[in-house]
Structure 1
Amino acid sequence: MPKLIKLYIQQVIIGFGLSAAFTAILVYFDVANLQRLLLGSSDGLLGLFLIFFFNGLVFAGVQFAIRIMRMGYEDDDDDDDDRGMPIRTGELIPIRVSTGDRSGTR
């Protein structure tokens, strides 16, 4: 299996684990009367699953994005400090730039 697929599966598992913890906290602390709504309704388990699933999708996506963006910093063995910026040599000389207004008034 390619490394990127393994990385993605790992981040999805972490994201859904975070979603399970987040959903449990929401229900336990009865945020916005969510506990009473889920336990008092006949469709409460469906609602609980949907909260878990959609939060899992969001958390997994964010987890994967953070991991991918941090990959460049982990393997940074480059010795130069210019970070891709051109090295300036010499003195800066100002030049006149016209605005294109040829009416003669300023």
Structure 2
Amino acid sequence: MPKLISLYIRQVAIGFALSAVFVGMLMYFNVANLWHLVSSSSEGAIALVVMWVLNGIVFAGVQFGIAIMRLKDDDQPGGGKRQMMPMMLAEPVPVKVDRRTPQQRQIRR
């Protein structure tokens, strides 16, 4: 199996495990009275599964994004001196401004 695919599967598994912990903590601490809503409804198990799956998708995406961003690019040589970029100096540029009013401009034409 390619390394990227195994990395993806591993990060998705971690994301769904984190989602299970998160949903479990939501139920344990009874956030927004979720425990009562889930336990007293006949569709509570479906709601719990939906909450786990949807949070799992989010957490898996974040896990995979973090894992990809932490990958190193070994093609670049390490260390060395920083190349100096040429700096442009800000120099004032003279701009001619016609201070006459529009009526004065029409008279001179």
Taking structure 2 as the reference length, what is the TM-score of the superposition?
0.76
Q: Which residue of 2 aligns with 1:49?
A: 49
Structure whose CA Rg is larger: 2
Gaps of 5+ in 1: none
Question: 1:103 corresponds to which residue?
Answer: 97
Q: Note the residue ranges of structure 2 that are not aligned, 5 or more in a row.
A: 100-109
How many residue pairs get aligned? The number is 98
Shift of 1:94: 4.3
* Alpha-carbon distance in structure 2 between the residues aligned to 1:2 and 1:79: 30
Per-residue Cα deviation, 1:18-73 (whole angstroms, up to 9, x for no partner): 00011111111111100000010010000000110000000000011111111138
How many Å separate the matches in 2 of 1:81 and 1:19? 45
Alignment of structure 1 residues 11-50 onto 2, 5 Å: 11-50=11-50
Identity %: 45
TM-score for the superposition, normalised by structure 1: 0.78
